[in-house]
Structure 1
Amino acid sequence: MGHGGNVIDELMTDHREVEELFGRIEALPSGDKVRKVYADQATMELVRHSVAEEEYLYPAVREHLVNGNAMADREIEDHSKAEQLMKDLESCEAGDAEFDRLIGTLMSEVRSHIADEEQHLFPQLRAACTAEALDDLGDKVRRAKKLAPTRPHPSAPDTPPANKLLAPGVGVVDRMRDVLSGRGKHD
């Protein structure tokens, strides 16, 4: 979190980090408890990433890209599906049969979303925006990720201005819960 660079570089670094966590999950045998730790870490990263995209990237997509409203709506729909999967995954332990199904579906959905963003949305955004605008968006996304929730909240608003108002408060509560529970930490 907080890598530097323009918004596209920042988000692509996030994508690589999530893919690394997915690879760690896939490298462990079904039922291994560490899979749950990595799944929690991936969820924490994905939620922060999604909140930042919804607060800043997608409004820029709507403003600067031809057919931007439809593109942003599709991306937010992808986020909603992934967020529900992460919420369902929260209540599963690594040894549960449902865990394997949910994490597999989540990885597939997220990988598809990442490919779509990197192959279509990011090149269009790079062509439509100035380097300065992309750098400014990168700064905003980094700030948003620092305050964003770390747990899925499928019923929370996902468009401005409500998401910008609620995310920091929910983020504080989530981070407190994470510290107290040890969520996402190895024993």
Structure 2
Amino acid sequence: MTAPAVSISGQDADALGGDDSILMRQRRDHARLDAMMNRYLSEDLPPGDLNSLWLDIVRLVFSHAFAEETVLWPLLRRVAPDGEELTRQVEEEHQAINELVARIERSPDDPRRAEWIQQAFALIRQDIRDEEDELLPQLRTAFDDRTLRRVGAAWEAVRATAPTRPHPGVPRRPPGNALRGVPLSAFDRLRDLAPGSGPAARRASLAAAGAVAAGGAVVLAVRAARRHG
């Protein structure tokens, strides 16, 4: 990769376009992920709590990455001379994480599960560093504060309807990722909210239906982001 402008990792909110800018939203998610991974590896949690923490990490990783691929990386390919190379590398990282986490979810009793989870965490940490040091500074260079806040709002709208589980077969780029990913999001969120039956499951079914209906927000948010690109 080419040398970044200035990593966003050590900059304050004013330098990154304000608390609602895409850069601050990204950095907050990255910090939350880092804290959760550290907790998973360092705390002696009961198996149930450990599994719940793992699922929280998975949900954040995949909703975050889907919104990046839908909103941010198309913008970066338009404004950065090396945007194609930069985004291709991070898309490959996302695909590797998808495949590894899918394997973990398929094999809950495999003795290699703990090793695979550590490998997944290493990939996620590398992805965070590449984004904060290489990709996101390009957006800071290209856009003013107001546009960064608008892109942040578009990214958040997409994340609200994004898949929350690994789907290695979903394309990494729009429009294919939205066409195949948004319907899967409804299924993912049903699993997240209420496995089983009863009132909670019925509420989750309504939420899942809402996720499908809100799929149009993905298209609208991407168009809004592109208008400001």
TM-score by length of 1: 0.88
- Which residues of 2 match residues 1-187 of structure 1 at below 5 A? 5-29=20-44, 32-93=47-108, 96-181=110-195
2-side partners of 1:88 and 1:124: how far apart?
Answer: 33
Q: 1:107 deviation in Å?
A: 0.7
Specify the SS of the correspondent of 1:113. Answer: helix
May I ask how many residue pairs the two structures share in their alignment?
178
Structure 1 pair 98/29, CA: closer, same or farther in 2 (3 Å)?
farther
Deviations 1:56-88 (A, max 9, x none): 110011011111011111111110001111111
What letter is aligned with 1:47?
Answer: F
Q: Which runs of 5+ in 1 are unaligned?
A: 183-187
Which protein has the larger Cα radius of gyration, Structure 1 or Structure 2?
2
Q: Which runs of 5+ in 2 are unaligned?
A: 1-18, 197-229
2-side partners of 1:81 and 1:146: how far apart?
Answer: 23
2-side partners of 1:6 and 1:32: how far apart?
Answer: 37
Q: Is the 8 A contact 2:86 2:134 kept in 1?
A: no
Higher relative contact order (CA 8 A, sep 6+): 1
2-side partners of 1:163 and 1:119: how far apart?
Answer: 25
What letter is aligned with 2:28?
Answer: T
Specify the SS of the correspondent of 2:160. Answer: helix
Q: 1:35 deviation in Å?
A: 2.4
Question: 2:217 matched to which residue of 1?
Answer: none
Q: Is the 8 A contact 1:6 1:138 kept in 2?
A: yes
